Structure 1
Amino acid sequence: MKIHHLNTGTMCPMGRRLVNGTGGLFQRARMVCHCLLIETRDGLALVDTGIGLGDIATPDRLGKRWLRQTTPKLDPAETAVQQVKALGYSPADVRHVLLTHLDRDHAGGVPDFPHAAIHVHRAEHDMAVLRKPAPPEGRYVTGQWSHRPNWAFYGEAGEDWFGFKGVRALGDKEADILMIPLAGHTLGHCGIAVRSGEKWLLHAGDSYFHHAQLDASPRAPLVLGYFQRRADMDRNARIANQARLRELKLSHGDRVTIFNSHDPVDYENCRCGAHEGVRLPSSPP
């Protein structure tokens, strides 16, 4: 399968050193919305959607506080649907959208692919859409799924993958795309594993925010670590799953490349194919 790495939303909060871990305190940081576009036997599959055209047309629905804190560029050219078109495809070619979770910077592009099946963990759907249990106030942007998409649900059943439980293949047919429950950031948060030749890519969503969190001595820049804690729905589960990802990297880093949604270092390494060797430095926007 051919895999494209897309940045579907650049965010530029103040305090680069405290967010990216490099640069000055009064420089703008750079964060991305790292998505995958996968060419499968059943059309295109998109892993997360980032910020969508509807968000850019009515940015207030994203929340004034979130806009103030993250300072997104809101560039239509960065949206997944426009990048799909730029690659020569039609939005209708996207048959499946697999979501790590339903936070606003991951599900914003869902309405841009109205014909796709939207794959999500059932616990995530129950909280975000059905409000069972009710989510934290302002956590989700319900307008991103008000068009009533074609949901496809996943739970805990399935085969093992490198010791992780509860894995289900896409549509029970595509063995090279797997959803892996990694609860903590949200109750239904998942990672998406994709086979690439003899190796695997693991899109870990918001299981961690900074590449150094998977190092032997994990650490995160001050503000990024604070935001991560504030966003946790189940901190103990997030910490436990982060430790499991760290062990996966240590034990199987030669076979599995792990990356998260927002770290520009992870994104640039994947986009440039620099999965082996020295990490690229994050650069200012």
Structure 2
Amino acid sequence: MRVHHLNTGTMCPIGRRLVNGTGSIFQRARMVCHCLLIETSDGLALVDTGIGLDDIAEPPRLGLKWVRQTKPRLDPAETAVQQIKALGYSPDDVRHLLLTHLDRDHAGGIPDFPKAKVHVQRREYEMAVTHQIPAPKGRYITDQWKHGPDWSFYGEGGEDWFGFKGVRALGDREPDILMIPLPGHTPGHCGIAIRSQDKWLLHAGDSYFFHGQIENPPRRAPLALGYFQRKADMDRAARVANQERLRVLNASHRAEVTIFNSHDPADYERCRCGRH
């Protein structure tokens, strides 16, 4: 399967050294919304959707506090739908949206692909959409799915993948795409594993925010980034435990699996330039 790495939303908070670990505290940092466009035998699949056109048209719906803190660029050209058009595809060619979770900077592009099936972990849906599990106030932007998308749900069982339990996200048609439960950031947070040629890619979502966190020995995230990560955790113990599992996977299977997160520009540039 051919995989395209897309940045579907640049965020520029103040304090580059405290976010990226380099530069001055007075410079703007750079964070990305790292998504994947996958060419499959069943059309295109998109892993996470980043910030969508409706979010850009109406920034306050993202939350004034969130916009003020993260300073998103809000460039329509960065949206997944516009980048997919630039590659010569139609939005209708996108058949599947595979979401690590439903936070605003991951789910904003859902309305841009109304014909796509939206794949999420069931616990994420029960918290964000049906509210069967109480969610922190303001955590999710329900306007991002008010059009009533076609949902597909997954539990936590399934086949073994390097010690993790996963399920086939697209069934027998695509055995090389797996949803890997990685709760902590949210209860239904998961990673998406894709076999591309002779190697696996693992989009770990918000399981970690700074590339040094899964190195061995690990490096602490820059101060502001680490604070934001802890503040966003719904289950910190689970997130820390899964981060350790990713660190072990990275140390023992680096030649077989490339791990990256959603927002670290270093991870994004490494993948975009093919430095796996």
Query: TM-score when scaled to structure 1?
Result: 0.95
**Deviation sequence 1:150-196 (CA, Å, 0-9, x none):** 00000012101001014334234311111000000000000000001
Partner of 1:18: 18
Task: Please tell me whether the aligned partners of residues 193 and 201 of structure 2 are also in contact (alpha carbons under 8 angstroms).
Answer: yes
**Deviation sequence 1:88-120 (CA, Å, 0-9, x none):** 000000000000000000000000000000000
Q: Identical aligned pairs, as a percentage? A: 76
Partner of 1:94: 94
Matches within 5 A, 1:259-274: 259-274=260-275
Which structure 1 residue ranges, 5 or more long, are not aligned?
276-285
Matches within 5 A, 1:110-121: 110-121=110-121
Partner of 1:227: 228
Task: Please tell me whether the aligned partners of residues 101 and 107 of structure 1 are also in contact (alpha carbons under 8 angstroms).
Answer: yes
Which structure 2 residue ranges, 5 or more long, are not aligned?
none
Q: Is the partner of 2:137 in helix, strand or coil?
A: coil
- Runs of 4+ with >2 A deviation: 166-169
Q: Is the partner of 1:175 in helix, strand or coil?
A: coil
Q: Is the partner of 2:180 in helix, strand or coil?
A: strand
**Deviation sequence 1:14-51 (CA, Å, 0-9, x none):** 00000000000000000000000000000000000000
CA distance in 2, matches of 1:30, 1:77: 17
Task: Please tell me whether the aligned partners of residues 10 and 30 of structure 2 are also in contact (alpha carbons under 8 angstroms).
Answer: yes
Partner of 2:125: 125
| Letter in structure 2 aligned against 1:239 | V
| Letter in structure 1 aligned against 2:90 | S
Task: Please tell me whether the aligned partners of residues 121 and 190 of structure 2 are also in contact (alpha carbons under 8 angstroms).
Answer: yes
CA distance in 2, matches of 1:56, 1:239: 33
Task: Please tell me whether the aligned partners of residues 170 and 179 of structure 1 are also in contact (alpha carbons under 8 angstroms).
Answer: no
Partner of 2:200: 200
Task: Please tell me whether the aligned partners of residues 42 and 173 of structure 2 are also in contact (alpha carbons under 8 angstroms).
Answer: no
Task: Please tell me whether the aligned partners of residues 161 and 167 of structure 1 are also in contact (alpha carbons under 8 angstroms).
Answer: no
Q: Is the partner of 1:191 in helix, strand or coil?
A: strand
Task: Please tell me whether the aligned partners of residues 11 and 30 of structure 2 are also in contact (alpha carbons under 8 angstroms).
Answer: yes
| Superposition deviation, residue 217 in structure 1 | 2.6
CA distance in 2, matches of 1:248, 1:122: 25
| Superposition deviation, residue 133 in structure 1 | 1.4
CA distance in 1, matches of 2:61, 2:275: 37
Query: TM-score when scaled to structure 2?
Result: 0.99
CA distance in 1, matches of 2:190, 2:249: 16
| Letter in structure 1 aligned against 2:194 | V
Matches within 5 A, 1:108-187: 108-187=108-187
| Letter in structure 1 aligned against 2:204 | A
Partner of 1:279: none
| Letter in structure 2 aligned against 1:136 | P
Task: Please tell me whether the aligned partners of residues 155 and 166 of structure 1 are also in contact (alpha carbons under 8 angstroms).
Answer: no
CA distance in 1, matches of 2:172, 2:231: 35
Task: Please tell me whether the aligned partners of residues 46 and 98 of structure 2 are also in contact (alpha carbons under 8 angstroms).
Answer: yes
User: RMSD over aligned Cα, in angstroms?
Assistant: 0.7
| Superposition deviation, residue 3 in structure 1 | 0.5
